[in-house]
């Protein structure tokens, strides 16, 4: 029986809620969006002012309100999806890539610090696998250097650092509800932001108009007031999102159970030095978004992945580091510039984790992996 890498959680509520939604006006930022925001508030203590069509759009919204000038720099980790780099470029800034911590694949704070210049305006940290870096230290450094801190929390709904929901610690936080994420509506995202950016973000997200204020009855008409775009999640997607969020605890606990099953089954291989397991530092509580192992080199990685595939098990590598991509080369980086990011690219393999996978199947995956080593 093949074991897929992803499989969508089917919420028991979604059909009924979607039928209700179909009967409504379908206007964006309507009842379904309000319910999603209510659940984020009540279950995750997170104020979620802006639902967006994707995390990519949420990052573009955040960068869009910073008014970057040509030559302004934004630091972000290379082991990453391209969205943050694109958002910096689209906002007129220069992305500056830094290396990652080999223990977590998150931004390496020391390397980040070395790359701060008088032109640096912001830093974008990624919570890889829903595990954060030392946010206390990062917040302190950002404050000292006068930098805006943006959390790319694409994978991190329901994950915490010292009890604080990831995405709520910096000035901005961006979430993804893409079909590959724990909570999904196919395509979707959201942005949190510090109060001082809220009004500008509201204007930007509504094509640079004060339409939201007009809908609240604050003015008789609305008009073009600033630069912006249309970055609003459809009510239809918000409805699916709400249905999924009702099962947040169940989804998270099933995923965490699978991660624990992998950990138990593969621990002897780590103890004998044959691989390294994903680690979660004590201050972090993950949401089981992913589970990965690290091998000694690309040869072992390829061999194990092929063996798993031959047994119908879909295990996947992850990002091509931004500095090693064609765009990274065009920006002037060479493959050897950021060794820990390169190493993650060469040695990291993600194992299947989704709510439709059983613990028995996870143990079977671990067994095939062990035989392939």
* Helix or strand (DSSP H, E) at 173: strand 172-176
- Supply φ then ψ for residue 78, to 5 degrees: -75, -35
Least separation, in Å, of the C-beta of 58 and ligand PLP?
A: 8
Q: Cβ closer to ligand PLP: 83 or 182?
A: 83
Whether residue 328 contacts residue 338, with contact meaning beta carbons closer than 8 Å, is answered with no
Tokens read off for 147: 């930098």
Q: How far is CA 78 from the centre of its chain?
A: 14
Stretch of residues binding ligand PLP (CB under 6 A), selected from 90-98, 148-156, 196-204, 339-347: 148-156
93 binds ligand PLP (CB under 6 A): no
Among 11, 37, 46, 56, binds ligand PLP (CB under 6 A): 56
Q: Cβ closer to ligand PLP: 167 or 300?
A: 167
Among 37, 46, 54, 300, binds ligand PLP (CB under 6 A): 54
Please tell me the distance from the alpha carbon of residue 345 to that of residue 338, in angstroms, as a whole number.
11
Least separation, in Å, of the C-beta of 320 and ligand PLP?
A: 12
> Residue holding tokens 């206390």?
136
Burial environment of residue 196 by CB neighbours within 10 A (0 to 12, 13 to 18, 19 or more): exposed
176 binds ligand PLP (CB under 6 A): yes
**Number of Cβ within a 10 Å radius of residue 218:** 10
Q: Cβ closer to ligand PLP: 57 or 294?
A: 57
Please tell me the distance from the alpha carbon of residue 142 to that of residue 138, in angstroms, as a whole number.
6
Cα–Cα–Cα angle for 234, 237, 243, rounded to 5 degrees: 140
Per-residue x/- track, 104-143, ligand PLP (CB under 6 A): ----------------------x-----------------
Number of residues that bind ligand PLP (CB under 6 A): 13
Among 55, 76, 88, 259, binds ligand PLP (CB under 6 A): 55
Least separation, in Å, of the C-beta of 332 and ligand PLP?
A: 23
Angle between helices 235-245 and 248-271 (to 10 degrees): 60
Least separation, in Å, of the C-beta of 173 and ligand PLP?
A: 12
Interface with ligand PLP in residues 188-227 (CB under 6 A): 189
Per-residue x/- track, 66-85, ligand PLP (CB under 6 A): --------------xx-x--
Among 152, 202, 206, 346, binds ligand PLP (CB under 6 A): 152
Whether residue 302 contacts residue 316, with contact meaning beta carbons closer than 8 Å, is answered with no
Stretch of residues binding ligand PLP (CB under 6 A), selected from 147-155, 209-217, 239-247, 288-296: 147-155
Catalytic residues: 181
Within the chain, residue ranges assigned H as helices are 14-23, 31-44, 55-64, 83-90, 109-114, 135-145, 195-205, 211-215, 235-245, 248-271, 298-310, 326-330, 339-347, 359-372
Q: Cβ closer to ligand PLP: 184 or 300?
A: 184
238 binds ligand PLP (CB under 6 A): no
User: CA distances (Å), 63 to each of 72, 73, 106, 302, 328, in order?
Assistant: 12, 12, 20, 38, 20
Least separation, in Å, of the C-beta of 152 and ligand PLP?
A: 5
**Binding footprint of ligand PLP on the chain (CB under 6 A):** 54-56, 80-81, 83, 126, 152, 154-155, 176, 178, 189
């Amino acid at each position: 029986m093949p074991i897929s890498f992803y499989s969508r959680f089917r919420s028991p509520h979604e059909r009924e809620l979607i039928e209700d939604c179909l009967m409504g006006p379908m206007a964006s930022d309507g009842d379904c969006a309000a319910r999603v925001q209510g659940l984020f508030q009540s279950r995750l203590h997170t104020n979620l002012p802006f639902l967006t069509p994707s995390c990519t759009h949420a990052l573009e919204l955040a960068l869009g309100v910073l008014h970057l000038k040509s030559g302004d720099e934004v630091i972000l980790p290379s082991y990453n999806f391209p969205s943050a780099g694109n958002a910096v470029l689209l906002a007129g800034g220069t992305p500056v890539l830094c290396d990652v911590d080999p223990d977590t694949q998150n931004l390496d704070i020391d390397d980040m610090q070395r790359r701060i210049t008088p032109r640096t305006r912001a830093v974008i940290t990624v919570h890889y696998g829903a595990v954060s870096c030392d946010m206390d230290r990062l917040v302190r450094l950002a404050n000292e250097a006068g930098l805006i801190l943006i959390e790319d929390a694409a994978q991190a709904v329901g994950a915490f650092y010292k009890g604080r929901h990831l995405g709520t610690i910096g000035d901005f936080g961006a979430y993804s509800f893409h079909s590959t994420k724990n909570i999904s509506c196919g395509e979707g995202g959201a942005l949190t932001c510090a109060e001082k950016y809220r009004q500008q973000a509201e204007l930007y997200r509504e094509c640079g108009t004060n339409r939201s204020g007009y809908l609240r009855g604050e003015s008789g008409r609305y008009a073009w007031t600033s630069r912006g775009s249309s970055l609003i999640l459809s009510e239809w997607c918000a409805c699916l999102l709400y249905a999924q969020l009702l099962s947040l605890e169940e989804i998270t606990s099933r995923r965490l159970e699978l991660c624990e099953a992998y950990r138990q089954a593969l621990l002897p291989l780590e103890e004998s030095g044959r691989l390294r397991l994903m680690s979660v530092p004590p201050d972090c509580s993950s949401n089981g978004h992913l589970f990965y192992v690290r091998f000694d080199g690309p040869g072992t990685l390829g061999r194990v992945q092929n063996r798993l595939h031959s047994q119908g098990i879909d295990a996947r590598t992850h990002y091509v580091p931004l500095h090693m991509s064609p765009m990274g080369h065009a920006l002037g980086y060479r493959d050897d510039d950021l060794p820990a990011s390169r190493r993650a690219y060469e040695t990291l393999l993600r194992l299947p984790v989704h709510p439709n996978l059983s613990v028995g199947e996870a143990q079977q995956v671990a067994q095939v992996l062990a035989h392939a080593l």
